[in-house]
A = this chain, B = another copy of it.
């Protein structure tokens, strides 16, 4: 039996996993849709799989795993021998530490700003709330100097994890996409090297397939 992903095809963190599955050429999987409106992710049965009550979760036989980046990592490791190489070899000490470095950079210096901006401008509004201008200002002010550093980094390397496309770029996909939907696309398009990187990664067949899912 293949792996099962509990999630939703239009949800950011599930999209990250779907892009990984496509990049690795994995077709033997099932997406079990969690109905967020019906609060299935807050039901006792689901909370046994994911105590924080959020999607997604991976189930592979009796192995359960939550946290979308960890799930991507598992898929990229398990299917190391097929599809696009997304991770260093397991015994490559410096390669793996460098992977951890770029993964931390994504969380601390990009996701920590892009996610709450998307939350204020998209998810909160979807639930009938309004964006908090003070919080938006706080996150924008934090993000801008980081974006300038990213512009410098991407003037020296083609991808967020080095000179090759890798799992690190996949980590960035959903919330960078959301920046455009949140009205912050100029954060990307105003910076030539970031824009060139985004054009490269967002044009990949995997990401285009994920976006086209019903």
Chain A residues close to B by CB (< 8 Å): 51-53, 63, 65-71, 73-74, 77-78, 90-91, 93-94, 96-98, 100-101, 103-105, 107-109, 112, 134-135, 138, 146, 149, 152-153
Q: A100-B69, A101-B67, A105-B67 are in contact. Are A74 and B51 (CB under 8 A)?
A: no
Chain B nearest CB from A48 CB (Å) reads 11
Q: Which residue of B lies closest to A142 (CB)?
A: B116
- Tell me, in angstroms, the Cα distance from A158 to B134 when the chains sit together: 39
- Looking at chain A's contact residues, is the secondary structure mostly helix, strand, loop, or mixed? helix
Contacts of A68 in B (CB 8 A): 104
Query: Can you list 21 A-B contacts (CB < 8 A)?
Result: A51-B149, A51-B152, A51-B153, A52-B149, A65-B97, A65-B101, A66-B101, A67-B105, A67-B108, A68-B104, A70-B97, A70-B100, A77-B96, A77-B97, A78-B93, A90-B90, A90-B91, A90-B96, A91-B91, A107-B107, A134-B134
Q: Are B98 and A65 in contact (CB under 8 A)?
A: yes
16 further A-B contacts with Cβ under 8 Å, apart from A68-B104, A91-B91, are: A52-B105, A66-B101, A67-B100, A67-B104, A67-B105, A67-B108, A73-B96, A73-B97, A74-B94, A77-B97, A78-B93, A90-B91, A90-B96, A107-B108, A112-B112, A134-B134
